[in-house]
Each structure stands twice: as C-alpha cells, then as structure tokens.
Structure 1
Amino acid sequence: MSSIQPPTLSFEVFPPQSPADRAALLTTLDQLRGCHPAFVSVTYTNHQLDYEQATLGLAQTVQARVGCPVMVHLLAAYTSKTQVSRILADLESLGVTQILGLRGDLDPGQTPGADFPHASDLIRFIKARNPQFRLAGAGYPAGHPESPTREADLAHLQEKVAAGCDRVMTQVFYDNQQFDRFRADCAARDITVPILAGILPILSRQQALRVETDFGARLPQPLRTRLDRVWDDPVAFRAVGLDYAVEQINDLVAHGVAGIHLFTLNQASTVAAIYARTAALFEK
C-alpha cells in the first residue's frame, strides 16, 4: 500500500440571499455530504451583511447538514479588534476552529478600519489571541491585482505564513502552468505550507466574461477556443466548462497538488457532475 496521502477535497459555499436560494443551498449541502469533504468553507464577501446571521448561521447549517469541519471567511478591512474577539468567542462556542483570513475588497464609499490594514495583521492577531485556531491565507497564482510586482505579492504571502497560516488557498485560475509557477515561487521563498488549488468551473457565457474582471484569472487560448465553438449553445457550453474543470483537477492531482478547493456557487448539479468523475482521486 502506498504511503503517499491523496490530496484533500474541499468546497466553498456562500450565504443565500432569498428563500429560493436557501432551498437550493440545502440541496447542495446534501450533495456535499456524499463527497466526504475535508472541510467546507463559508464565505463572507460583503462587510455590510450581518456576520453572525450570514456566515455563522450558515456554518451551523453546514455542520448539521454535512457533518464535516467548517472554515469561515473573516475579513480584515472593516473589522475591529473588538468585533474579531467577539466572533472568535462565537466560533469557539460553535466548535468552528478554521478561519480563512482575508483583507477583503475595499469599498470606495467607506473608509476601512485601522486595526487590520492587511490580512496578515488579522491573522497575527487571531494566532496570538487564540492559537488553537487553524488559519489559512489566500494565494494568487496570477498575482494580486493591487500588487505592483509578483515579488511584492509573494512577500505579502510570506508575511501571512509567518503570522500563522498553516495553509494557502489560491484564487481561481485556468492555466495549470500558472499554478505550477506559483508553487515553485513559493518553494523558492521557503513557503512550505500546503497549497490548495481553487477551481471554479466556467458554466455560462456570463461567467466567462466575468472571471477575468472579477478574479483576475486569465483564460488560456485553448480554453477560449473550446468555449467559442459552443458560445451559442448553453448546454454544450456548460459541458465544456465541466470537462475543463475535470481536466484541470486530474492534471493538478497528477502533479502532486496538496488539495482541491471547489467553488460550488451553491449548485448541487455542479458538485455532482465533477465529483462523479474525480472521486477516485481523493480516496485514501
């Protein structure tokens, strides 16, 4: 029997905005239960939402419905030390011990707080106050859009790891060579924590048009060509997007990725389609 551990498989969901969205999310969570995830992450993308209701409420639902560890997103830019201390206490009471520390998008109409200018400041604060929490930080294979250079971006990642991150979770990407370069650059800087690859299937024309602006993720020409061929056929378009995601995952696993983190968009059908074709890659 091989002693090599298979990669982890995890999923991301986000708080629903309507009763219909909640019903769809519950179906997705039921689907996730059969995928045996290492953890499910719960986003918090809008600092104007009520964190306890949106993120902590969903974390409880995931624990009850999926029965796996939960990782919650926590944003630095608009959060104070007092708020974080209260949230950490709430997380402890819920049995949630994993956090993805992010700076968060800046709102042009609102001044960010002074306590945590960067994700590394938030991570350092949590690790000093509650060292039992497992902390993850974000990595950017294409480089963070606000970083002046790739070297500056990698230096920021080093700061997050030094502050207490035990894992890196990447922004979405569609060129595995870009991920390979990022992983090599991390190794050259002695960033040795596991790097989980963020995968977001492109399932619609609207999504294809948005990924570069929303995520800074470049679509490689072979993928563009395949999508162009089915641009006016939504069913075929979705099939091509799913095929490409599966190909990405197979290639990443073949090259020793530590884990795959699948952005579900709360769609059960996407989870089912990809897991059916990749489950054997994650079996112990």
Structure 2
Amino acid sequence: MPLQYSFEITPNIDQDNLDGLLTLHPQFISITDRNHDMDNLIQSIKIADYVHAHSDVDVMIHLTGIDKDYDTVKQMMDLMQNHDVNDVLALRGDKLSQNDSAIIFSHADELVEFIKKEYQHVNIAGTCYLNSNDEELHWLKHKVTKGCTNLISQFSFDVNDYVDYLNRTDVTTPIWFGIMPVISKTQTQKMLDLTHATTPDKLIALMNASEEEFGEKGVIYTAEMINKLEQAGANHIHLYSLNDAENTKQIIEQI
C-alpha cells in the first residue's frame, strides 16, 4: 500500500499556507486548537468550508469531552454535520481545574461511544501513545471497540519509538503516525523541553547547528524518519504542518 499522509493545522492558518497545503493533496487535514469551544469551532468550520470549496480533501475537527456535557457535544456535532464535516478526533482533553467534579466524559472512549451512538455515519479517530504499557494498549483496544475507525499517534523525534510501537500493537485499525517536523532549532528545543522526548544522537548533533543551517538539515532529518518508518511497515503519516506549507512541501518531496 502506498504511503498516505495527512496534515494538522491550527485555525489561525493564513490562506496562502492553506492553499499551499491543499496542493500537496493530503488524505485529510485535521484542525486543532487549545480552546475547543464554540467560537473556535466556528473558525474551524470556516476553514472546512474553504477546503471543501477548493479541493476534495476531507476535514477532521478535534473535539474534547472533559469540558463538555451531552448537549454541548450534540450542538457542536450538529454544526459540523451541517457543514459536511464527517470526521472528528475524539479527545479527553485537560481538566479546567483540579476541582472539576461534574465531568460526563472522563475518558475519551466515553466520548467515542456517545458520538457513535448519536451519529453512526461519522468517522471517529482517537489518539494512541508511543511507549504505551500493556494496560494502555488494552484501553486502546477498548477505544477501538467503542467506535474509533482511525488512530493518530503522539509524536517523537526518534524513529525507533514508532517502529517499536508498530511491532507491539496488534490493532487492525489504521494508525496515522504523528510526525513533528524538525524545521526550527528554537521550536524543536521547545518541544523537547515540553515533552521530554527521546533525543537520538543524530538530533543532538543537529541541535548544535546554527539556526540558519538547521532548517535544511531538519527537513532531511524529518524525511528520513518517515522513510524509515515506511520501510518498517507503516502506511499512514500525520504531519504536523505548523501552518507552514513550504517546509511541509520540502518534506513530502523527499518521502
């Protein structure tokens, strides 16, 4: 099966970069945002309308459950349906405060189950986590049983994390492996600090490069990760575009 790829964007993407990403013909574009509320959904819907009008690319919108009740989820899902958005990434989300007690969707699988019951034709994606223990892999299967038709993994800067996960999991649901492009030294360091991700020797050496030469070498590093992952048997790549069409294009051209 040829390698398929999708892109992730945020609602503040400008039209030039969105147009540039669409010319690369991804399988779908997913739209995420820190604030998964109605105002941000409306902005995402505007992007979805534009994508539908100018391409045949599908749109997936992220939806968190922990900060919402049944009516709010239905309101948001109905709005998506009215704009022909039939793909959703169902997430648990973060608690608004440590004192939250009246939580309806305390886990992502509960949100998956509710959406699948109310909107049977919707394609529901869920997240999966590299370096999962046996219990986490068990709950992943539970999420798939509840209705997930696709999975998107967290990102890593070490291709071995992806390959190990590919060899450990036995779910048949397609897994889109999340890849964070290494295109900015400052941004990459920020991600390493935030996630405490594994830092391979090759990336450590790359981090010693100047910001000016980092970009080109980082594109090569990212493309090499994807190519190695494909050689290991992966068929689906979910590339965090960082709203940057040009760097995304350079990576895709080297796959």
TM-score tier by shorter-chain length is over 0.9
How many residues are aligned here?
A: 255
Alignment of 1:49-128 (within 5 A): 50-108=39-97, 111=100, 114-128=103-117
Secondary structure of 2:88's counterpart equals strand
Shift of 1:175: 1.5
Shift of 1:216: 4.6
Match of 1:146 in 2: none
Indicate conservation of the 8 Å contact 2:11/2:40, yes or no: no
Indicate conservation of the 8 Å contact 1:9/1:38, yes or no: yes
Match of 2:214 in 1: 237
State the TM-score, normalizing by the size of structure 1. 0.83
Shift of 1:204: 2.2
Aligned counterpart in structure 2 of residue 255 of structure 1, from 222, 232, 251: 232
- Name the CA distance, whole Å, in 2 between partners of 1:113 and 1:266: 36
Secondary structure of 1:44's counterpart equals coil
Aligned counterpart in structure 2 of residue 204 of structure 1, from 159, 167, 184: 184
Shift of 1:257: 0.8
Shift of 1:215: 3.8
Output the aligned Cα RMSD: 1.9
Alignment of 1:1-284 (within 5 A): 5-16=1-12, 22=13, 25-47=14-36, 50-108=39-97, 111=100, 114-143=103-132, 150-187=133-170, 191-228=171-208, 230=209, 233-278=210-255
Indicate conservation of the 8 Å contact 1:29/1:65, yes or no: no
Shift of 1:239: 1.5
Residues 214/157 of structure 1: CA separation in 2 closer, same or farther (3 Å cut): farther
Q: Comparing 268-277 with 162-171, which one deviates more in the overlay?
A: 268-277
Residues 251/175 of structure 1: CA separation in 2 closer, same or farther (3 Å cut): same
Residues 256/210 of structure 1: CA separation in 2 closer, same or farther (3 Å cut): same
- Name the CA distance, whole Å, in 1 between partners of 2:101 and 2:80: 24
- Name the CA distance, whole Å, in 2 between partners of 1:213 and 1:107: 23
Secondary structure of 2:15's counterpart equals helix
Residues 37/112 of structure 1: CA separation in 2 closer, same or farther (3 Å cut): farther
Indicate conservation of the 8 Å contact 1:12/1:43, yes or no: yes
Secondary structure of 2:169's counterpart equals helix
Residues 217/40 of structure 1: CA separation in 2 closer, same or farther (3 Å cut): same
- Name the CA distance, whole Å, in 1 between partners of 2:99 and 2:34: 15
Q: Which runs of 5+ in 1 are unaligned?
A: 17-21, 144-149, 279-284
Indicate conservation of the 8 Å contact 2:155/2:177, yes or no: yes
Q: What's the % identity of the aligned pairs? A: 29
Residues 168/122 of structure 1: CA separation in 2 closer, same or farther (3 Å cut): same
State the TM-score, normalizing by the size of structure 2. 0.92
Indicate conservation of the 8 Å contact 1:78/1:113, yes or no: no
- Name the CA distance, whole Å, in 2 between partners of 1:110 and 1:201: 36
Q: Which runs of 5+ in 2 are unaligned?
A: none
For 2:7, give the aligned amino acid.
F
Shift of 1:14: 0.5
For 2:159, give the aligned amino acid.
N
Indicate conservation of the 8 Å contact 2:220/2:254, yes or no: no
Runs of 4+ that moved beyond 6 A? none
For 1:212, give the aligned amino acid.
L
